[in-house]
Amino acid sequence: MRKQSTGEALTWGYSKENGPDSWHTSYPIAKGNNQSPVAILSKDVFKDPALLPWFTGYDPGAAKNIRNTGKTLRIAFDDTFDRSVLRGGPLPGIYRLRQLHIHWGSTSDKGSEHVVDAKRHAGEIHLVHWNSSYSNYADALRKTDGVATIAILMEVGKNPKPEMKRIIEEIDAIKTKGKEAPFLNFDPSILFPQNRSYYTYQGSFTTPPCEECVTWIVMKEPISVDEQQMLKLRSLSSNSAEDPHCPLQDNWRPLQPLNNRMIRSTCQ
Ligand SMILES: [Zn+2]
């Protein structure tokens, strides 16, 4: 990592010096009572018969670009109106899709953030939506029901999801930190597993400032990826083009205490 000039706050990251254990020094809420990710134990989950199915209506035309932020791979969507939306499930209203990003490991035995029945997967896709009853995204971040994130666990398996291809193909165009490429005509619902049943709980963003505004919808069924696709993700650099290559990997936050929160699931 590059040395930073005196007086400049050390930016957050995933290394020893600026990793998750130190985030709270700049972002105190990272030590709050409703942080994410959490361990999900299926035997302790409340099977709630009142919990409804969720629905998305995504407009492929809302996809804008794909970017290497130095901390993740992120796809941005147009959220200026109710164009690509999520509703139903545990949610009180309509939520607009803003961005999709991925967490992954340096090896395929780690990388996911949520851990279900003690199993950590190779990666986790997050689709971040905000409650369109608030005037804008920044406003939604200040509300406990402001954001809804769908989490899809990635498992290295025999029948890799061909739908991941579109994202993987674009990686060479965004090798280094700050690189961005157009990413048009993409419907992220192709990434959903077949079975839509889910776990849900109230938590936070897993990256600073770790705002506690997220209703999590964690898919029970993982999607399959292959080792080649994981290697491709790990070939991204967390450094800019001018700096030496530093693999962008292990960009996942460790488990946070559940405290008094309840995790619910659909009965199926
Ligand atoms: Zn995330």
Q: Quick one: pLDDT at residue 9?
A: 53
pLDDT category of residue 124 using cuts at 50, 70 and 90: very high
**Number of structural domains in the chain:** 1
**pLDDT (mean) for 215-223:** 97
- Determine, yes or no, domain membership for 264: no
Contact 248, 71 (CB under 8 A): yes
- Reported confidence tier of residue 7, pLDDT bands at 50, 70, 90: very low
Instruction: Give distance in angstroms: CA of 212 to centre of ligand 1.
Output: 13
Question: Is 64 domain-assigned?
Answer: yes
Identify the band that residue 8 occupies on the pLDDT scale cut at 50, 70 and 90. Answer: very low
Of residues 144, 58, 69, the one with CA closest to residue 101: 69
In angstroms, what is the span from residue 9 Cα to ligand 1's centroid?
23
- Between the CA of 1 and the centroid of ligand 1 the distance, in Å, is 22
- Cα–ligand 1 centroid distance for 152 (angstroms): 10
| Residue 103 alpha carbon to ligand 1 centre in Å | 6
What tokens were used for 265?
């699931």
Give the tens place of pLDDT for each residue, 58-109: 999 999 999 999 999 999 999 999 999 999 999 999 999 999 999 999 999 9
Domain membership flag for residue 14:
no
Look at 55 and 162; give whichever has higher pLDDT. 55
From ligand 1's centre to the CA of 158, what distance in Å?
25
| Residue 1 placed within a domain | no
> What is the 100 CA–ligand 1 centroid distance (Å)?
8
Give per-residue burial for 214-228: e unless 16+ CB within 10 Å, then b: bbbbbbbebbbbbee
- Has residue 265 been placed in a domain? no
- Residue 77 in any domain: the answer is yes
Residue 6 has pLDDT above 80, yes or no: no
Cα of 229 vs centre of ligand 1, distance in Å, is 19
Q: Is the residue at 13 inside a domain?
A: no
Domain that holds residue 48: 24-254
Q: Considering the domain boundaries, does residue 60 fall inside one?
A: yes
Rounded to whole angstroms, the Cα distance separating 62 from 81 reads 10
CATH number assigned to the domain comprising residue 151: 3.10.200.10
Read off the amino acid at residue 22.
Answer: S
